[in-house]
Amino acid sequence: MNTIRLFLSLLLLACTTAHAADAAKPNIILIISDDHGFPDYGFMGSKEVATPSIDRMASQSLLYTRGYVMPVCSPSLACLLTGKLPHQNGITGNDLIKANAPANRKRDPLAQRLLGNSLTLSKALTEAGYLTFQSGKLWNVTYSEVGFTHGMTDTAGRHGDAGLEIGRKGMKPVFDFIDHAQAEKKPFFVWYAPMLPHQPHNPPAELLAKYKGKGFTPAAEKYYAMVEWFDQTCGELDAHLAKNKLTENTVILYLADNGWGAADAPGKRSKLSPYELGIRTPMFVRWPGKVKPQRDDETLASIVDFPRTILKIADAKTPGDLSGLDLLDRAAMTARKSIFVEAYTHDIADLAQPAKSLVTRVVIDGWSKLLLPTDIRPDKAYPSAPTEIELFDLKADPFEKTNIAASRADELTRLKTIQDAAWKP
């Protein structure tokens, strides 16, 4: 009898200890806006668009204004799930070319390639004791396939199917999940990737009216209103945290999946383009009381930094083959010299050979940016890519108007050596 009592006491202690460990873990929310130009935030200097909610969050965060992502969504989202660059994780475009696409999406090789990586962020967090929720974009897989405990995308189609209702049709699914996690006394992770400000640009009439009569093109009016719509959803999310006294123990991380040009159609140095309007985004981490608010306009940050950062925050197992840094490790971040971006055709020619779809390799080292084109041309709908080697001084020329490759041969050679060493498909 004493042995049984001892066993039960030890079991109760173990359960209590595990519960206390879960309760001590911070909640985590990853916000990913969609087709959002890096200049189009108040905190990035925009005078055109109102983003009060995201501005406030940025002011409370460790903010890197020189963050870089892939120039189109599916490769960017795969980087977030795997912690690897596209040539490493295998997801180099949005779709397979039609000749290679399967008739039955349940056997989609894109999903197989994604799930074959050493890390799926959502699965790792679930295994670390989190309740995990997917909303918004998720390409070619369901939420459960990549390890979320809860989610909105339960059919493996393009973009995210039902998940795309989030934000545009309200925030209730996210709020309901947060409330459920609280009732279960479990830490939570929310993947909030709304299709905002992504097309269709059909903002609420009251928001669109704010941008009429200010000299913007009709396309820009709609886009700016969409950006503000996205910002409003972020404000609603933050208000829900505050209402439920969750702000202090919830980490919010933010980035955009790729860029956009306010006055441009796609393909004009923005989406699917290796130029700054296609690949640059602000990135931040807000953790009240744990992370000191600071704006950093020098240090280079990368999309592949997010998985390592999130796993460290969650005290979760981290695979040894991730290529990013911890965004909160200031010594490592400020010591970094170079980051890399890869631009591919919209559709993947060959999952096993990334180079067959590769349009441009990019290395950014300090303020120098080198674009190395291939002989593969981008899709006709997205024609903006270099046809010759281009070198830019981003400090003096942030929108890449002057190619200085011809006058900086030594710098070109130095950067090409750095890029070649990193390119290992």
List the single range of 34-38, 138-142, 314-318 with lowest mean pLDDT.
138-142
Whole-angstrom distance, CA of residue 415 vs CA of residue 392: 11
CATH domain 26-335 topology: Alkaline Phosphatase, subunit A (3.40.720)
Whole-angstrom distance, CA of residue 89 vs CA of residue 307: 13
HSE-CB of 400 using CA atoms within 13 angstroms = 25
Whole-angstrom distance, CA of residue 348 vs CA of residue 366: 31
pLDDT: which is higher, 332 or 140: 332
pLDDT: which is higher, 9 or 372: 372
| The pLDDT of residue 349 is above 60 | yes
| The pLDDT of residue 12 is above 80 | no
Instruction: Return mean pLDDT, the chain.
Output: 91
Residue 312: which residues within 8 A CB-CB, separation 6 or more? Answer: 318, 326, 328
| The pLDDT of residue 383 is above 80 | no
Whole-angstrom distance, CA of residue 354 vs CA of residue 200: 30
Q: Enumerate the β-bridge partners of residue 134.
A: 151, 191
The rounded radius of gyration (Å) of the Cα atoms in the chain is 22
Whole-angstrom distance, CA of residue 361 vs CA of residue 376: 12
pLDDT tens-digit profile of 183-202? 999 999 999 999 999 999 99
pLDDT tens-digit profile of 285-305? 999 999 999 999 999 999 999
State residue 16's pLDDT score: 44
Q: How many helices (H) and strands (E) would you count in the chain?
A: 13, 14
| The pLDDT of residue 217 is above 70 | yes
State residue 393's pLDDT score: 98
State residue 338's pLDDT score: 97
| The pLDDT of residue 135 is above 70 | yes
HSE-CB of 72 using CA atoms within 13 angstroms = 27
Residue 96: which residues within 8 A CB-CB, separation 6 or more? Answer: 102, 109, 110, 347, 348, 351
Greatest CA separation found in the chain?
86
Residue 247 tokens read as 């702000």
Confidence of residue 17 (pLDDT cuts 50, 70, 90): very low
User: Do the beta carbons of residue 219 and residue 265 sit within 8 Å?
Assistant: yes
Mean pLDDT over 51-75 rounds to 97
Whole-angstrom distance, CA of residue 412 vs CA of residue 281: 25
User: Do the beta carbons of residue 52 and residue 235 sit within 8 Å?
Assistant: yes
Mean pLDDT over 391-401 rounds to 96
Question: Vertex 267, ends 365 and 72: CA angle to 5°?
Answer: 60
| The pLDDT of residue 101 is above 70 | no
Q: Enumerate the β-bridge partners of residue 251.
A: 28
Residue 111: which residues within 8 A CB-CB, separation 6 or more? Answer: 140, 141, 145, 156
Residue 5: which residues within 8 A CB-CB, separation 6 or more? Answer: none
Confidence of residue 18 (pLDDT cuts 50, 70, 90): very low
Residue 377 tokens read as 């041309």
